[in-house]
Amino acid sequence: MKILIAADMEGISGVADRSFVLEDGLNYELGRFLMESDVNAAIDGAIASGATEILVVDGHDGGHNLRITNLNSRAVLLTGSARPFPMITGYEEADAAIFIGYHAQFGTSLALLDHTYTSRLKLWINNVEAGESYMNALLCGSKNVPVILYSGDQALAEEVRSFSPDSFQVVVKEAYGRSAAGSLNPQKSGFLIKENVKKALKAWQDGHIKPVTTTDPVEIKVQFIVSEMAEQAAVLPGAEQIDPLTVVSIQPNIELGVRAFLAMIALAKAPLF
């Protein structure tokens, strides 16, 4: 049984503002330690449930946050940038996936560091407003890989329940604003993650958690906060700017749809004013 553990940072236990997630931040080293703690808890739960292979993907920023020396030696760690689908690289080879440290989509109220890849856009996939959790779950689902557990704040849990109510959601903190959170002690959140991973794997094996899917073709709609960004993104072949802030691209499937979305992000640069 091969398990993918995809790790982001904003939804990690104890992370409360930007200082924990930026490499030059005051609390970044603490943020790394907390991220490793949550990931190790998920690894421990997977091992206890019979996982034979565990791939951990560092999906935050450039993918240089987790340290292999601080992770359970049973796991393989994928780090670094410039890889396909950087948050979940290797998803197509997994039997099931676990998303640790995820966050709510951009524009969510009372959600810690809410964003959708950036804090400059909103995303819709086939007319469903999407964050990173839904987008990456669809990619996994396209290969029949279910995401069985998500950890993060209470806003992330609510978002996940809207598209995957049978999955497990572990709330490790409550957001009191975009840059304030009341967090569980890492030992407590680690216990919750480990125990719920075991329960989630059992529920999946019993047939109670299904992959998240959508229909083909896939419409990707991106609304930027500045018109210049939409103009730049519309350069993508096949994309159409439908209003000053919004660009649409219709692709044959979700994989190509996400590639189009990532290409738009690469093309669209926010102006200074």
pLDDT digits (tens, 9 = 90+) for 169-210: 999 999 999 999 999 999 999 999 999 999 999 999 999 999
Q: Where are the alpha helices (DSSP H) in the chain?
A: 28-48, 132-142, 154-163, 186-205, 227-233, 254-267
Q: Determine if the peptide bond prior to 211 is cis (ω within 30°).
A: no
Q: Which residues contact 130 (CB under 8 A, 6 or more apart)?
A: 105, 116, 123, 124, 138
pLDDT at 156: 98
pLDDT at 95: 98
pTM: 0.97
- Nearest alpha carbon to residue 38 among 11, 69, 76, 78: 11
Q: Are strands 240-243 and 246-251 parallel, antiparallel or unpaired?
A: antiparallel
DSSP β-bridge partners for residue 163: none
Segments of the chain scoring below 50 in pLDDT: none
How far apart (Å, rounded) are the C-alpha atoms in residues 23 and 40?
21
pLDDT digits (tens, 9 = 90+) for 88-126: 999 999 999 999 999 999 999 999 999 999 999 999 999
Helix (H, G, I), strand (E, B) or coil at 1: coil
Q: How many CB atoms lie within 10 A of CB 135?
A: 25
Which domains does the chain carry?
2-121+130-205 (3.40.50.10780), 218-267 (3.30.1360.130)
One-letter identity of residue 212:
V
Tokens of 5: 């553990």
Q: What share of the chain is helix, strand, coil (3-state, %, to 5)?
A: 35, 25, 40
pLDDT at 81: 82
Phi, psi of 254 (to 5 degrees): -70, -35
pLDDT at 83: 81
pLDDT at 84: 83
